[in-house]
Amino acid sequence: MARLRHCGYCGTWYRPNPKTADRQQVCGNPACQRQRHQKACRNWRKKNPHYDKQDRLIANLVKDGPVSRTDPLTAIDWDAASDKVGPEVAVLVEETGKAICQWTRGERPA
């Protein structure tokens, strides 16, 4: 049987779950479990700050509504892209995309 432990949040004594006794640090009180979970999430976000950065960037850049089949570059909000990466990079990427679209259609770039 596991020895009594002192909860790190509320300070009460508790008997840990026998399956996780070597790792359990807080009691089963829902408030203590919530605090433990919040701390674990905070630590995870600190270690993985860019986890959903790409998803948020895509959500900000992709326009809502119909996309032109002839010009896929209309799906991107170029003003938002320019704000995120700077006008020079946005123009470079946009013009590269235009050249690729023209090449795939068999047109000569101007």
Q: What pLDDT, on a 0 to 100 scale, did the predictor assign at position 69?
A: 67
Report the C-alpha dihedral over residues 70, 72, 74, 79, rounded to 10 degrees.
-150
pLDDT tens-digit readout, 40-90: 999 999 998 888 887 887 777 777 766 666 677 778 888 888 888 888 888
Q: What pLDDT, on a 0 to 100 scale, did the predictor assign at position 110?
A: 58
> 32-36, long-range: CB within 8 Å, 24+ apart, which pairs?
32/7, 32/8, 35/9, 36/8, 36/9
Q: What pLDDT, on a 0 to 100 scale, did the predictor assign at position 76?
A: 82
| Claim: this prediction has a pTM higher than 0.75 | no
Q: What pLDDT, on a 0 to 100 scale, did the predictor assign at position 61?
A: 77
pLDDT of 95 > 80? The answer is yes
